[in-house]
A and B are shown apart, each in its own frame.
Chain A
Amino acid sequence: MKVKWKLLFPAILSAVSMLGGCQPQEPAGSSAPVTSPASSTPSTAGTADAAGSDGSASTYLSDTLAELHVMCEDSASAPLLVDSETIKYVEEYLNVKIILEAVPSASYADKKKVLISTDNMPDIMKINLSDLRQFAREGMFVNLSENKERLPNFFTVLDQNPDIYKLSIDGEMFSFPTMRRPSAGDDPNGQQPVIRSDLIKEYGLEYPDSFEELYEVLKVFKQNRPGSIPLTNRKGGNTSGTQKVLDTMAYPLGSGSKMYYDQDIGGGQYVYGPAHENFKEVLRYLNQLYAEGLLDPDYATNTSDIWKEKMSSGKALMYFDNTGFRMDFEAALKTLEPNATYDVFPTMENSFGQRRNFIFEQHWSNSHYVVASSSENIDLALAYMDWSFGEQGCDILNYGVPGVHFDKINGVPVMKTSVWDAFIAAGSNGPSYDLQSKLGIGLPAFTPYVDVGASELMKNYMLDGEAAERSEATAAMNRADTGLRRPVYDPPLSQEDNERYNQLLSAVENIVVPEFDKYIMGLEPIENYDAVIERARTAGAQEMEDIFNRANEAYQ
């Protein structure tokens, strides 16, 4: 019967579709192919990137929102924010979410080693040179030289800085060293002496020209301010206070705190400082200061915060460290002593007649970003890293969101002054650090290719007329200072050499490091240090120097 079917059919259909409609949709597949990164074409006008624009498909590095796990060392000065402006912007623009794990410096070394050793690395990780040399050959990190075609920006930058190849392993790059893009405001500076220039004037002194003179100046300071600490220091990230003092002052004093290249010894060779004769002078000098209370008695245990506190409160009068902090300290100190000023002064002559000091290396050769071989997002990680070495990536990671935080004027990124104003107005001690922290830009953040313009120029910006002049004067002074030298990188070592070197280093350090304080504090007469040198040499310091010097020749 026709009618019967006509009736039943739609009924059955409707019933089936009702039941079928209850089925949930299958979720879309998770991983998607990675598109090629945006090429680094310069944007001509500042309006090219509209404020807060969403990344279009063309800028996406990934079709679906992908995650990259990154582990970095947290800086005490500018703590890493997991939801900084840049990270948020990158998520929109590149469709990549950077999941940042910031590990405090004190714990970083161990955590890092554990993760690498147990093959539990995040996609991208920050390591130092020795980690790189130790683990690269084990295949823990992606071989970048093999992926040259995927990293055009990076290799372009490398070609502009061939020295970086010293950081290669057997001729191949396994890491993205933190590198510096030349920019305005990037004047050479380093760990230089910074002193209370107002007191110099007040006590009718001159800037010390030699370390001898410095000793005298500090004595005057102490006399006039009995309760103060003329020279103070801080701990390094993972180094002790002692090590930091040596790191900053050993070279200017004629030696070095570890293995370094000394142009003045033997026509130029690698020397393990603490196992060298000249090191005695360093210890002697420091002891001299310590004995007379001119060096902070707590130098060994000062934390970074404590150091800042002392410098900002007028307790301490001089430091030998990163000059960048001086403006912050001066600003804070001015509330207590309105006339206080901190100034850098030129490199001093040491007892060997040398005038020398390291300025900061152009790049940060001890800071490397590696992509884990075991990562599931290698393509994306490489794409992202290469993007960060491109012009656009470098801009964003160092200046913030285009149009919101900076504009591109004549091809140069220029930070908006309104942004600077906001952070200055917040009234903290280190507005430039706050800026970098909040925006997630610059050296303290996850930035492989650094442009210090944003923070450095900010410091200039914060200065009013007189201060700006002073800043410029300092820059000019530095430029004219012949004693300032860029450090030389270690030569690349073969696996064998690297192993041997590490082995020897641990033995040697075990001998020398516990001795430093004894001599600085004067618990041992300086003559006894010869014995230490002897022991160190025997234990392997000589061999270590040989390894380096051999490798250096081979590299040349």
Chain B
Amino acid sequence: MRELYRRLTSERRAMPRLYFAILSFFLFLVLFVFILGMGVYNATLRASKAEFEHRVAAGLSTIWERTDSEILTMYETGRNLLENFYVQEHLRPYTQINDEQRLVLFKVSKVINESKRLLSSTDEIFLYLDDHKVYTSDGIADFSSYFSSIYCFENIPAEFWASQREQTAKLTVLSPVQVYRRYSGTNRRVVPIVTREYVNGWRTVTVISLDIEKLCRPLERGMLYPSSRFAVLTSRNELAFSNMEQEQLQEISPLLTEETGTADYATISGERYFVVSAVGLSGWRILLATPEEEFRRVNDDLLHLIFLICAVLILFGVVLSFVFAYLLYSPLRNIRYAVLNASRTESQSASLAQVEREVTDLVQHYQFLRDSRQNEAYFAMQAYLLYGLYGERPQQFLELLAGGRFSHSSYAVAALCVQFKSVFRDQPEVTQEVMLQSIEILVEKCIPYPLFFIEFGNHMRAAVVNLPKGDMGAVLDGLDTISHILEHDKMYLRCFFGVSSESDEVNDLQRLFDQARTAMEYVERIGGQDIVCASQLRIRHAYFYPFAQEQQLLQYLKAADMKNLQRLTTELLNQNLETPVLWRSIRSLIQAMLGTAQSYFSDEAASLPDFEYVFYSPSMCYHMLIDQYQRMITRMGDAQDTSNIAIDYIRKYIEEHYADNLSLTELAERAGYNAKYISRLFKQYIGYHLSDYINYVRIQKAKEFLRDPSLSIAKIQELVGIPSYTTFTRVFKKFEGIPPSRYRQLEQITRSEGAVELDWEDTKEDRSE
């Protein structure tokens, strides 16, 4: 069951595998973009951080400059006021004023008013030089009532102001204080800037009330980032204005007292702030804290963009991978589809499931047959068929097919060969197997007549078709259809068809088979079309084996010149295979070539390989020939040259102890020589590698054992000393071309029916051409 499941899903697994392959490529790309993006982001993050810091600092110094210069102007105004012409002329202690002077006293107020108007952040300017009167921008007030009710500084009595005249400092900045105008009901927070000068010999005090709100509120508007918080301190390091919360102020107070302008990061109420401070020429300071988040916000956009790109890529990747994987052609799907469409019988349902079931059934069928070693019905059938095809017992062939299916009058054979490209070669065997089975089904569906498949080689099938007389066209059409269907699969596999001509006679099956095989082989060699009819080709029945070349062959054999032997063999084979030629003719050629060697060497021991029932490809033929030549030469060499005792000894040892675990090192030791030396020597004299020769001997022995039906193949494998069954089968196949089981069958048949004699008569006649 597991096998079955595995086979079923193997095809399905191909697509998801492909899908994931493509998807992983996309994800790789996404990863790349992501890494790149993050790199860029980090770089810009650093750059923009520096930029941000610079801008904040620059912005601060710009705004602060203005405010600072305003404060400086106030400082100067205090002094300039007293230098005013009118003031100089008219200002004197009240007790000393006469009426005439009183007349123009109002001008002093006017002058003060002018100055006040020019300083926008001033709440009031007043000056005094005695305890009697205060000159304001509005008019002249009584000293005591001015400070007690008209312009009342919180907690600062009139006496304080009177005492200000006694101070010597030219300029003092007082602490921020509330000032209350009783009759206007207004309340402002101001910083009194006090300047003292001598006017006409009297010490005069000018006080400018710097309106903190008016001075500092515009700073807020000028901030680069609205979320910034700042604090303004007077030249006495007292807090004048701040838009921070109380707790924040407390946290920041250590920074407030630092001397030089700082630029650093600090944590305030849990958030990170970039803190810059600037000190003006006036001595006033500003501390600006901008949340770090501000510059992050800009970069966040970049980050979002990167994520967006990645997300889009992933989405596209997922979608397109699916699309590509789907589009990436699955031949099996194609066949299924085609099979579906090619179905002509209504009884069969058009669903994919049906097809699948059929394939499953078939697989199961074969599986069932293949698995059961006891039940050799399949092999028997195949053997019979093969045998039948070789023309020996057509009657039996027909009996086999007495199920009634083969009811038409004519026969034809279509041979097909499937070549799997490298893609498929990476697949496990079972997929190729399934493909072949599917193609078989396809053939069955496309050819409207009963047919039966026979496996005659690796990935090769022969379909024996029973058709009404003269209807080859239908067969060819069917094959054409298949060819079209499989046209797009050229990447993965290639299917060749060789079609024989038609015949009424069952006995002709062998010939038809031959034709088909030849035609197929021709397609493979030449290329171009996928289907070739034997009737299209002029298939020779004769082979070329000129006398001159025969002589040359002999020469090389005598001289044991392997190189030239190889060359000549290749030449001969190519000459013969250039144009379409019946397979049996090639077989005859090979037999002839072998015969030449045999007769020269008079080597009775030479046994012809049993290849009559097997289809050898030209290269296999070639190798087999060379192999035989080599052996013969060796054996000849054997007889003539016994000088190399060591090699001889080893050879005999192998032939006796084939069943043991033999190794080169051990053997060399026994012979008393170095392993490398022995290996080289062996090759030189015998013509085989040592390991090959060991196997060769084992296989020869195995062949003998195979003749005994009581021995199971596994037992035989043990007997010949090959460790595993798979190895045994492989090695056997290598030397003999067929698996041991098949060999046994053929042996049985041969023995039961009597030995088959080569029909040399036919070939001799052909030879005359």
Contacts and interface: CB of A to CB of B under 8 A. Distances in A.
B319 A518 contact: no
Contacts of B183: 76-77, 304-305, 308-309, 429-430
A8 interface: yes
Nearest to B104: A517
Contacts of A521: 99, 102-103
Contacts of A107: 113, 117
A301 B99 contact: no
A372 B128 CA distance: 43
Interface in B109-124: 109, 113, 117
Given A8-B323, A305-B138, A522-B99, A429 B315 contact: no
Interface in B121-144: 136-142
Interface string B324-340: 00110000000000000
B529 interface: no
A251 interface: no
Nearest to A300: B106
A18 B139 contact: no
A4 B186 contact: no
Given A79-B185, A106-B137, A106-B138, A15 B102 contact: no
Interface in A298-344: 298, 300-306, 308-310, 313, 315
B312 A300 contact: no
Contacts of B320: 8, 11
B116 to A, nearest CB: 8
B145 A301 contact: no
A37 interface: no
A15 B316 CA distance: 8
Given A300-B106, A301-B106, A235 B186 contact: no
Interface in A1-51: 1, 3-4, 7-8, 11, 14-15, 18-19, 22
Interface in B94-111: 99-100, 102-103, 105-106, 109
B35 interface: no
B322 interface: yes
B312 A309 contact: no
Of the listed residues B140, B186, B326, the one surrounded by the most CB atoms of chain A closer than 10 A to its CB is: B140
Given A241-B139, A303-B141, A106 B185 contact: no
A392 B315 CA distance: 63
A124 B102 CA distance: 40
B144 to A, nearest CB: 10
Nearest to B148: A309
Contacts of B184: 76-77, 79, 305
Nearest to A310: B145
A4 B138 contact: no
Contacts of B102: 297, 300, 521
Contacts of A302: 139-140
Contacts of A15: 312, 315-316
A437 B185 contact: yes
A305 B320 CA distance: 85
Interface of B is mostly: helix
A306 B323 CA distance: 92
Contacts of B136: 303
A106 B102 CA distance: 21
Contacts of B99: 521-523
Interface in B538-571: none
A303 B323 contact: no
B149 interface: yes
B66 interface: no
Contact of A518 (B103, B117, B137): B103
Contacts of A303: 136, 138-141, 150
A300 B105 contact: yes
Contacts of B319: 7-8, 11
A279 interface: no
Contacts of A22: 308
Contacts of A4: 323, 326-327
Interface string B584-610: 000000000000000000000000000
A327 to B, nearest CB: 15
Contacts of A101: none
B182 interface: yes
B744 interface: no
A428 B100 contact: no
B49 interface: no
A522 B139 CA distance: 21
B432 to A, nearest CB: 27
Contacts of B140: 298, 301-303, 306
A312 to B, nearest CB: 8
Interface residues of B, number: 38
B91 to A, nearest CB: 13
Of the listed residues A106, A107, A437, the one surrounded by the most CB atoms of chain B closer than 10 A to its CB is: A106
B186 A79 contact: yes
A1 B322 CA distance: 13
A434 interface: yes
B203 interface: no
B185 A306 contact: no
Contacts of B326: 1, 3-4
Contacts of B323: 4, 7-8
A548 interface: no
A521 B308 CA distance: 87
A21 B556 CA distance: 86
A305 B150 contact: yes
A307 B4 CA distance: 116
A18 B308 contact: yes
Given A7-B322, A15-B316, A306-B150, A235 B138 contact: yes
A517 B100 CA distance: 9
Interface in A221-250: 235, 240-241
B151 to A, nearest CB: 8
Contacts of B146: 306
Contacts of B142: 306, 309
A433 interface: yes
Nearest to A3: B326
A305 B327 contact: no
A474 B649 CA distance: 159
A307 to B, nearest CB: 9
Interface string A506-524: 0000000000011001110
Contacts of A301: 105-106, 109, 139-140
A14 B184 CA distance: 66
A14 B315 contact: yes
A1 B138 contact: no
Contacts of B635: none
A300 to B, nearest CB: 5
B730 interface: no
Nearest to B319: A11
Nearest to B140: A301
B701 interface: no
B312 A305 contact: no
B300 to A, nearest CB: 13
B308 to A, nearest CB: 7
Given A1-B327, A15-B316, A240-B106, A309 B185 contact: no
B181 interface: yes
Interface string B473-492: 00000000000000000000
Nearest to A426: B185
21 contacts: A1-B327, A3-B326, A4-B326, A22-B308, A79-B184, A106-B113, A235-B139, A301-B109, A301-B139, A301-B140, A303-B141, A305-B151, A306-B141, A308-B183, A309-B149, A429-B182, A437-B185, A518-B103, A521-B103, A522-B99, A523-B99
Pairs of residues from A and B, 6 with the lowest C-beta to C-beta distance, nearest first = A303-B139, A303-B138, A301-B140, A11-B319, A301-B139, A305-B183
Given A15-B315, A79-B184, A315-B145, 4 more contacts: A3-B326, A8-B323, A240-B106, A297-B102
